[in-house]
Amino acid sequence: MKTVKPKKLLRGDLIGIISPASSPDDLSKINSGVQYLEKLGYKVAVGKSVGQVKGYLAGDDPDRLNDLHSMFSNKEVKAVFTVRGGYGAMRLLDKIDYGLIKKNPKIFVGYSDINALQLAFLNKCGLITFSGPMVAVDFHSEVSAFTEENFWRIITSDKKIGRLHNPNEEKFYHLTGGRGEGMIMGGNLTVINALMGTGYLPDFKNSIILLEDINEPPYKIDRMLNQLRIAKMFDNAKGIILGRFINCYETDETKSTLTLNEVIEDYFHSLKIPVIYNFKHGHTKDNLTVPLGINTYINSDKGIVEIGESAVI
């Protein structure tokens, strides 16, 4: 797959804000996030539908779609940041003008439900996007210094990214040993499963697969990992990185259950490719930004995750 790197972000550039999935429960978080970006010296353009609420959606599909198209077509907008995840991004996939996205490659940031758009952009346009902080989730109040440093360095510098490190140099651990190299792709496990068979999921062959999730009990994690297994996604990969699985435990104490660790051990311990876990990415305050679609090297024995190039030009 031929990939395209967006241009790096410069101080004073215009950042577009869109809400293609859900709105935050507290809409003031959007303003707080915008103020944070402005204090850093960036200009901000907020999409017309941002702040709308239609049940669990941030407004009607056409309005959210129009904001997405407007930000990518606006030549002044250099990066597109999302407000939050939730649900709703997948509803837009078959309505997006991918030709417009391909002609106007820009920094595009988000995670969780936004991962659906990122994987579709990679598949249809070859666009490298950034699984990283969102405006009303990570930038609305006290911002993690670790998340900040990692994120801004990656999207503002055309120097090679190099090794990724956990906060406080906490080690990466491995379930299986070895080395692997390939295009890193993936993200939210639930989203990846929902995209299978749709035509919007990239081919994961020879890739480094990144997985994370939140609020899914072990049996659901089991079901989703099994779907990837029988689809032979793991057989054709070069390595696997397990991010954070937040609150993924059985809340009903009357139910018999496997633990999350038992489920993960069951699916990954016998693979013949390197598997790293304890990678601080996902629904966590200290969050490693990951450029999806870029070549990545891992050495699970030594706990190394390394990107030998920049993700922007």
State the pTM of this model: 0.98
- Which two three-digit tokens encode residue 13? 């550039």
Q: What is the pLDDT of residues 47-74, one digit of tens each?
A: 999 999 999 999 999 999 999 999 999 9
Q: Are 120 and 129 in contact (CB under 8 A)?
A: no
User: Average pLDDT of the chain?
Assistant: 97
Q: Which of 174, 283, 300, 310 is catalytic?
A: 283
Catalytic (active site) residue 212: yes
Q: Are 42 and 134 in contact (CB under 8 A)?
A: no
Residue 114: predicted pLDDT: 98
Look at the alpha carbons of 124, 120, 6, 35 in this order and tell me if their dihedral is positive or negative: positive
Q: What is the pLDDT of residues 268-283, one digit of tens each?
A: 999 999 999 999 999 9
Q: Which of 49, 112, 131, 300 is catalytic?
A: 112
Q: What is the pLDDT of residues 24-33, one digit of tens each?
A: 999 999 999 9
- The Cα-based distances of 24 to 56, 79, 131 in angstroms read 10, 21, 19
Q: What is the pLDDT of residues 98-107, one digit of tens each?
A: 999 999 999 9
Q: Which of 212, 281, 300, 310 is catalytic?
A: 212
Give dist(CA 55, CA 41) in Å, integer: 34
Q: How confident is the model at residue 221 (pLDDT cuts 50, 70, 90)?
A: very high
For the chain, the three-class secondary structure string (H helix, E strand, C coil) is: CCCECCCCCCCCCEEEEECCCCCCCCCHHHHHHHHHHHHCCCEEEECCCCCCCECCECCCHHHHHHHHHHHHHCCCEEEEEECCCCCCHHHHHHHCCHHHHHHCCCEEEECHHHHHHHHHHHHHHCECEEECCCHHHHCCCCCCHHHHHHHHHHHHCCCCCEECCCHHHCCCEEEECCEEEEEEEEEEHHHHHHHCCCCCCCCCCCEEEEEEEECCCHHHHHHHHHHHHHCCCCCCCCEEEEEEEECCCCCCCCCCCCCHHHHHHHHHCCCCCCEEECCCCCCCCCCCCEEECCEEEEECCCCEEEECCCCCC
* Domains of the chain with bracketed CATH: 14-156 (3.40.50.10740), 162-307 (3.50.30.60)
Q: Are 281 and 186 in contact (CB under 8 A)?
A: no
Axis-axis angle for helices 260-268, 218-230 (nearest 10): 10
Give dist(CA 249, CA 257) in Å, integer: 9
